[in-house]
């Protein structure tokens, strides 16, 4: 068992069930999540990103023209895919009462660089994502397989890459929108809302503020 492993399974299950209950009160209303991130250029391959109150850097390895000061964009993408599945396995484990004593998810994203550089006429560069799920658990095999299927089916990152996802890029020049590039279908005009409630943590506003300030 990992020494720093700490999970309150009752809390995990309660958060999942409270979200289900909240959305179930109005099942015809879309329950929209809309995370945002903003990235600005610092130098050639070094960027600063801001998301959810956090600021972090993005760079490229020296061999790709960067300084190697931070992970690359695709490293963050790969880690995000692995973290998203990890999160959903944990949520599903609480909901299905299929518990584990340690969990690590390793992701590998494969793509063909020839499309980007115009070397080959390929319809897409992405080749796939491979996950290795390392889990320690005393649960029976059939429950662990059901856990993985439930988690992967609900994983937002997997959903984005598994299905054709509409893309819309707004070109804003000197403060004015000049052009909108669209790829795929239309993106619905719906508002995001707190599907997990205003405060699923049980902490006070001051406690939440302190936790964000301290990087917790």
pLDDT band per the 50, 70, 90 thresholds, residue 68: very high
Q: Is the pLDDT of residue 197 over 70?
A: no
- Which of 150, 149, 137 lies closest to 102, judged by CA? 137
Residue-number span of the structural domain to which 56 is assigned: 9-165
Q: Is residue 34 part of a domain?
A: yes
* CATH code of the domain containing 33: 3.30.300.20
pLDDT band per the 50, 70, 90 thresholds, residue 192: low
What is the pLDDT at residue 206?
53
Average pLDDT rounded to a whole number, residues 18-43: 87
What is the pLDDT at residue 6?
87
pTM for the full model? 0.82
Q: Is residue 205 part of a domain?
A: no
What is the per-residue DSSP string for 23-41? Answer: HHTSTTS--------EEEE
pLDDT, one tens digit per residue, over 125-146 is: 888 999 999 999 999 999 999 9
Q: Is the pLDDT of residue 75 over 90?
A: yes
For residues 181 and 189, what is the distance between their CA atoms, to the nearest angstrom?
Answer: 17
The tally of domains found in the chain comes to: 1
């Amino acid at each position: 068992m990992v020494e720093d492993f700490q999970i309150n399974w009752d809390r995990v299950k309660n958060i999942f069930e409270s979200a289900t209950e909240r959305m179930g009160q109005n099942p015809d209303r879309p329950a929209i999540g809309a995370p945002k991130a903003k990235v600005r250029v610092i130098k050639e391959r070094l960027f600063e990103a801001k998301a959810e109150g956090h600021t972090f850097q993005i760079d490229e390895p020296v061999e790709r023209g960067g300084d190697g000061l931070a992970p690359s964009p695709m490293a963050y993408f790969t880690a995000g895919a692995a973290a998203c599945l990890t999160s959903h396995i944990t949520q599903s484990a609480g909901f299905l009462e299929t518990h584990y004593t340690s969990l690590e998810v390793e992701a590998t994203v494969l793509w063909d660089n020839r499309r980007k550089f115009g070397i080959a006429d390929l319809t897409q560069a992405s080749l796939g994502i491979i996950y290795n799920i390392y889990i320690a658990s005393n649960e029976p095999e059939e429950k662990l397989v059901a856990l993985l299927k439930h988690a992967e089916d609900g994983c937002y990152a997997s959903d984005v890459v598994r299905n054709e996802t509409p893309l819309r890029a707004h070109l804003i020049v000197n403060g004015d929108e000049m052009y909108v590039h669209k790829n795929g279908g239309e993106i619905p005009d719906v508002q995001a809302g707190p599907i997990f409630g205003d405060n699923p943590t049980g902490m006070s506003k001051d406690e939440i503020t302190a936790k964000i300030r301290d990087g917790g």
